């Protein structure tokens, strides 16, 4: 009996010792956080935080252009940008008109009224350009159609991703008094 009580007492001591050890393990973390926030100079804390350029570099590093499995080795193509009031579509074709890559605001993940924004058009152009560049595309002619807000931002996105732009052409169809236009909006 005496041995059992000694064992149970030693178990209690071990348990009581285990709790302070875990508590002391937590204290240095709390102290280090407190000292970093109050005691350390701001330069040390700011140096640990990544800059915006580093974050963008990491973001772009994950999206490298890799040659597609059935790559067609096309160096020159045509980027067709259709920008309507509600959506933006970008199709990149070779010089004969065969589609190499395409994208739309819905495909990139935008829904509803967000599809008509300039930011959506930028994302659409980048997505289509990545697909085309995986087939070896380096230079494009741009043909813009439609009155939407994503025209300029799509062109800038194609240029920013690294495609060389040879010409920009506006091919918006203009009626010679054909179909009756839709009614005027009353705001």
What residue numbers bound the domain in which 24 lies? 2-49
Say if residue 38 is in the same domain as residue 83: no
Together in a domain, 15 and 95: no
Quick one: 90 and 154 in the same domain?
Answer: yes
Taking CA atoms, 76 is separated from 69, 79, 135, in Å, by 19, 10, 11
Among 94, 98, 90, 100, smallest CA distance to 67 is for 100
Domain match, 107 and 31 both: no
For residue range 50-74, what is the model confidence (pLDDT) as tens digits?
555 565 555 555 555 556 566 678 8
Please report whether residue 149 resides in a domain: yes
- 45 and 93 part of one domain: no
pLDDT digits (tens, 9 = 90+) for 130-170: 999 999 999 999 999 999 999 999 999 999 999 999 999 99
Q: What is the pLDDT of residue 80?
A: 97
Residue 1 is predicted with a pLDDT of: 55
Within a domain: 23 = yes
pLDDT at 21 over 80: no
Q: Domain count of the chain?
A: 2
Both 44 and 80 in a single domain? no
Residue 69, in any domain of the structure: no
CATH of residue 122: 3.30.420.80
Q: What percent of the chain has pLDDT over 90?
A: 57
- Are 116 and 166 in a shared domain? yes
- 123 and 42 co-located in one domain: no
Same domain, 44 and 93: no
145 lies in some domain: yes
74: which residues sit within 8 A by CB, 6+ positions away?
94, 100, 132, 135, 136, 137
Q: Do 97 and 147 fall within a single domain?
A: yes
């Amino acid at each position: 009996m005496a041995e059992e009580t000694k064992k149970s007492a030693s178990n209690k001591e071990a348990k009581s010792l285990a709790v302070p050890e875990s508590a002391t393990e937590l204290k240095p973390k709390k102290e280090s956080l407190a000292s970093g926030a109050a005691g350390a100079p701001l330069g040390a804390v700011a140096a640990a935080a990544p800059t915006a350029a580093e974050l963008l570099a990491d973001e772009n590093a994950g999206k490298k252009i890799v040659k597609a499995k059935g790559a067609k080795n096309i160096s020159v193509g045509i980027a067709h940008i259709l920008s309507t009031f509600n959506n933006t579509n970008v199709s990149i074709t070779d010089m004969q008109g065969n589609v190499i890559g395409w994208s739309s605001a819905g495909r990139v993940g935008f829904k509803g009224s967000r599809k008509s924004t300039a930011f959506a058009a930028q994302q659409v152009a980048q997505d289509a350009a990545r697909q085309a560049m995986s087939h070896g595309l380096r230079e494009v002619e741009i043909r813009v159609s439609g009155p939407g807000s994503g025209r300029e931002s799509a062109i800038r996105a194609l240029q920013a991703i690294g495609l060389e732009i040879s010409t920009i052409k506006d091919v918006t169809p203009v009626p010679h008094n054909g179909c009756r236009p839709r009614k005027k909006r009353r705001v």
